């Protein structure tokens, strides 16, 4: 297995290459499809439909945005966590979907990336639903790990032979510091997920935002210290800002 790290729109694209098949460790942004196709067909000199499986670790735009379209183009299968229902369900879910797309555009602007299409379907029907500790279909050297907290369906992927773990957005690297992501809907699950990764004693951790890294005990303790005790979500952030704005208004 050879793991390729490609520069995606706002995240790293991770493509595992095998002699007879390809595995995409996450669903990328919608605008990453040409980047991925060029790499597979031009750099690797392989048919695009050698892409066999995509694992969508969670439903955010930079992790699920290209999945549905790539399945239509290549005929690949999609695997997700075995969690009931759709992440973006109901009216509140649709609003959150729009907010997440706008947040992805804001991140791209902060990274000085050109504006690209980010819209994608809020609904995803998986071909495979993975339980904690289950090998990936057709790729038994990888094991899925339930690492919820950021959302209710986050997955990490453990490559057993190399003892590397792709943790998606379990943590992010900002100014050479490792911090929790935003949002965190389930703080208790998030802390449990961190402890699960710590207990693995992986040789390296692969981040969607930060590349392949090695974390020290101090790094993990720093993340745990910053991990919220209550949910840190879009709506709570808006309410907090509105509350502070009212406090700052002059009284009549």
| pLDDT tens digits, one per residue of 63-92 | 999 999 999 999 999 999 999 999 999 999
Mean pLDDT of the chain: 93
pLDDT at 249 over 60: no
**Spatial separation of the C-alpha atoms in residues 96 and 235, rounded to whole Å:** 9
CA atoms within 13 A on the CB side of 121: 10
DSSP SS3 for 110: helix
**For domain 2-86+124-226, which CATH number applies: 3.40.50.2000, 3.20.20.70, 3.60.15.10, 2.40.33.20?**
3.60.15.10
**Spatial separation of the C-alpha atoms in residues 37 and 16, rounded to whole Å:** 14
DSSP SS3 for 128: strand
Q: How many CB atoms lie within 10 A of CB 12?
A: 21
Q: Model's pTM, two decimal places? A: 0.93
Sketch the domain layout of the chain as residue ranges: 2-86+124-226
Using 50, 70 and 90 to split pLDDT, how confident is the model at 246? very low
pLDDT of the residue at 36: 98
Mean pLDDT of 101-123: 95
**Spatial separation of the C-alpha atoms in residues 69 and 154, rounded to whole Å:** 21
| pLDDT tens digits, one per residue of 199-245 | 999 999 999 999 999 999 999 999 999 999 999 997 655 545 544 54
Beta strands in 82-229 (DSSP E): 128-130, 135-136, 139-146, 155-159, 164-168, 172-174, 177-179, 204-207, 211-213
- The torsion region of residue 16 among left (phi > 0), alpha (psi -120 to 50) and beta comes to beta
**Which residues are 41's β-sheet partners?**
none
pLDDT of the residue at 242: 42
Instruction: Work out the end-to-end distance of the chain between its first and last CA atoms, rounded to an integer number of angstroms.
Output: 69
**Spatial separation of the C-alpha atoms in residues 195 and 1, rounded to whole Å:** 28
Please state the φ and ψ torsions of residue 107, each to the nearest 5 degrees: -60, -45
DSSP SS3 for 108: helix
Confirm if 26 and 8 have CB atoms less than 8 A apart: no
């Amino acid at each position: 297995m050879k793991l390729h790290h490609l520069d995606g729109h706002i995240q790293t694209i991770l493509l595992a290459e095998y002699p007879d098949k390809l595995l995409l460790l996450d669903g990328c942004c919608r605008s990453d499809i040409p980047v991925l196709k060029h790499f597979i067909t031009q750099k690797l000199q392989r048919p695009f439909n050698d892409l066999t499986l995509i694992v969508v670790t969670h439903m955010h735009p930079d992790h699920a945005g290209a999945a549905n379209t790539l399945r239509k183009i290549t005929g690949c299968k999609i695997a997700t966590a075995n969690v009931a229902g759709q992440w973006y369900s109901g009216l509140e879910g649709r609003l959150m979907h729009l907010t997440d797309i706008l947040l992805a555009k804001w991140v791209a602007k902060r990274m000085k990336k050109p504006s690209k299409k980010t819209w994608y379907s809020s609904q995803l029907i998986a071909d495979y639903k993975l339980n904690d500790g289950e090998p990936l279909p057709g790729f038994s050297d990888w094991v899925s790990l339930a690492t919820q907290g950021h959302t209710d369906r986050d997955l990490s992927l453990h490559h057993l032979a190399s003892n590397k773990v792709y943790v998606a957005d379990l943590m992010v690297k900002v100014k050479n510091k490792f911090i929790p992501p935003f949002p965190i809907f389930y703080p208790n699950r998030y802390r449990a997920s961190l402890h699960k990764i710590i207990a693995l004693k992986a040789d390296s951790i692969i981040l969607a935002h930060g590349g392949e890294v090695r974390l020290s005990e101090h790094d993990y303790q720093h993340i745990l210290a910053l991990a919220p005790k209550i949910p840190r979500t879009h709506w709570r952030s808006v309410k907090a800002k509105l509350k502070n704005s009212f406090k700052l208004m002059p009284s009549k």
